[in-house]
A and B are shown apart, each in its own frame.
Chain A
Amino acid sequence: MRNLLSANFLRLKKSALFWGLLLLLFGLGMLFTLHRVKEQAQWGAHFYLTVDLFTYALFLGFGMAAFIPLFFGAEYSDGAIRSKLVIGHSRWAIYLSHLVTSVAVALSAAAAYLAPVLAIGLFVYEPPNMDVGTFLLILLGSLVLLAAYCALYTLVMMNCASKSAAAVICLVGMLVLYVAAGNIEIPLMHPEYMSMEVTDSGEIIPGEPNPRYVGGAKRVVLETLHDLLPTGQSLQYMRADVAHPARLPLYSLIDVIVLTAAGVLLFRKKDLK
């Protein structure tokens, strides 16, 4: 396993794709922060530190969907996987080494994004409008989410013999999951009442009930699905508006375990020709 990992890291060090991804994320972090700084200087807007801090949770959903098939897919076409098996590595060790490497890549890319945002943002933004515990939970959750994305794409890439098919499935799959999360959000956002009235004594009188409001068991199901989907989590982290900050990292961990178990099982049975 250690040999496999060091081989992967050696390839990473020489990979233009890897360095390109880091540079892209660094550039995006810098661009967003400078844009906000300009807005602050021009019309006195005020932003919290969290304004663009967790946007990488969405960017890397797409970034890793492109990176994993491009970087590891070459193992199939070059026959590197067969070579690794011939020298006595087990299939699960190969699978896990790929997963660990891709998680390391995702975390490095997140660090590349966070570096400019924090370096400038800490001086120019207002402190986050949440307690430290919630802030750290959101930060931790968004990083565990990256592992969930990596687990999903590794499952596809390792079990799909055609590299280009894996790339299309990962990228289009990410888009479909993103649209699905957006569509789950729409009914959840409808308010319960069409209007609200506040009396002089401060009492709130609800108006007509909203026919589009989703309540009861259906709401619980939609909310859980939204929290379980990596893209649903990305949308929440991106806005730094997370309803259940403690629950999300747990769901991501469940995603990682289930997807990896399924992926290893499928990969063990796969005919590598």
Chain B
Amino acid sequence: MRNLLSANLLRLRKSHLFWGTLALSFGFGVWVAVNQVLEQMRYGGFEDSPAFSRYTSVVGMVIAVFVSLFFGTEYSDGTIRNKLITGQSRISIYLADLITASACSLLFEIAYLIACFAVGTPFMSSGLLRHLETQPTVFVLTIVGSLVLTLAYSALFLLITLNCARKTTSAVACILGAFILLMVGIYLDGRLEAPEYITGYELSIDGQVVPAEPELNPDYLQGIKREAYQFLYDFTPGGQTVQYSMVAAGNLHLMPLYSLIILIVSTGAGVALFRRKDLK
């Protein structure tokens, strides 16, 4: 296991993909923070979610590309067969790759955060980090939760990559998977955000525009259906992505737990499939 990890580490050190993704994550952090500071200076406020959480919306895609390309090569170059020949078990190959993928995903997110805080901290009074001042618990839990979320994404995409012999297919499956997860999150958010009552406006007899009687919104989710949607919104990586990127104070204590469940279940399934896979 230690040999496998150090082999991965050596590959990482020489990988343009790894350094490129790290640099892009850092650059993205600088860009987002600078833009937000500029908007703050120009208009006295900003419309979007705070800069520090913005990376969460793209992190799934970043990990999908990185994991499928970096670990997909193990198949196309026959590295996996070599590892087996040298006596490594399939489970340790899988776990070594999981640890490497998770560490890289954490590093990408941390690189973004460092860039963001480096630019943002001097402007703290201007509100870039307003959540740290107003809701410190939400701020900390959002950062911790989005870091744990990257682990869930790594495990999911590694499950696809190590069980798909064709690198192109796994790259397409991972990227489309990340996209579909995000779309599911946005859809769930839209359904849960629908207001319970709709208040229209009507013209009174004297020509004044007055609010009409509130009507029950047919799109509003109720009862067990609402609970099911809320659970999926908290459980699925796409739902978590939407919540973290908006710094929504939802079930912040539960979401990292759900991410860990996804990590464990997908690793279990991945190892079981990988052990039976015909590596030719």
Contact = CB atoms under 8 A, between A and B. Distances in A.
Interface of A: 42-43, 62, 66, 69-70, 73, 163-168, 171-172, 175, 211-212
Interface in B165-190: 167-169, 171-172, 175-176, 179
B136 to A, nearest CB: 31
Contacts of B65: 168, 172
Given A66-B176, A70-B168, A211-B43, A164 B61 contact: no
A164 B168 contact: yes
B171 A168 contact: yes
B72 A175 contact: no
B171 A164 contact: yes
B142 to A, nearest CB: 22
B200 interface: no
B218 interface: yes
Given A167-B168, A167-B175, A172-B175, 13 more contacts: A42-B218, A62-B179, A70-B169, A164-B68, A164-B72, A164-B171, A168-B65, A171-B172, A171-B176, A172-B61, A172-B65, A175-B179, A211-B42
Listed residue (A42, A73, A163, A171) with the most chain B CB atoms within 10 angstroms of its CB: A171
| Interface SS, A side | helix
Contacts of B68: 164, 168
Contacts of B72: 164
Closest 7 CB pairs of A and B: A164-B167, A164-B168, A163-B168, A171-B175, A43-B218, A164-B171, A66-B172
Contacts of A163: 167-168
B232 interface: no
24 contacts: A66-B176, A70-B168, A70-B169, A70-B172, A73-B168, A163-B167, A164-B68, A164-B69, A164-B72, A164-B171, A166-B168, A167-B171, A167-B172, A167-B175, A168-B68, A168-B171, A168-B175, A171-B172, A171-B176, A172-B61, A172-B65, A172-B175, A175-B61, A211-B42
B200 to A, nearest CB: 14
Interface of B: 42-43, 61, 65, 68-69, 72, 167-169, 171-172, 175-176, 179, 218
B218 A69 contact: no
A167 B72 CA distance: 13
A235 to B, nearest CB: 15
A212 B43 CA distance: 8
A70 B69 CA distance: 15
Contacts of A66: 172, 176
A43 to B, nearest CB: 5
A70 B171 CA distance: 10
B74 to A, nearest CB: 13
Contacts of A164: 68-69, 72, 167-168, 171
Contact of B69 (A69, A168, A212): A168
| Interface SS, B side | helix
A69 B196 CA distance: 46
Contacts of B69: 164-165, 168
A43 B175 CA distance: 37
Nearest to B175: A171
B172 A69 contact: yes
A152 B119 CA distance: 36
Nearest to B176: A66
Listed residue (B43, B167, B169, B175) with the most chain A CB atoms within 10 angstroms of its CB: B175
A186 B7 CA distance: 47
A171 B169 CA distance: 12
Nearest to B65: A168
Nearest to B72: A164
Nearest to A44: B218
A163 B68 CA distance: 13
Contacts of B168: 69-70, 73, 163-164, 166-167
A180 to B, nearest CB: 14
B174 to A, nearest CB: 9
A37 to B, nearest CB: 15
Nearest to A43: B218
Contacts of A172: 61, 65, 175
Listed residue (A43, A164, A212) with the most chain B CB atoms within 10 angstroms of its CB: A164
A175 B72 CA distance: 22
B187 to A, nearest CB: 12
A175 B176 CA distance: 11
Contacts of B171: 164, 167-168, 171
A239 to B, nearest CB: 16
Contacts of A168: 65, 68-69, 171, 175
B250 to A, nearest CB: 25
Listed residue (B42, B61, B171, B218) with the most chain A CB atoms within 10 angstroms of its CB: B171
A166 B171 CA distance: 10
A70 B164 CA distance: 14
Nearest to A66: B172
B214 to A, nearest CB: 16
Contacts of B61: 172, 175
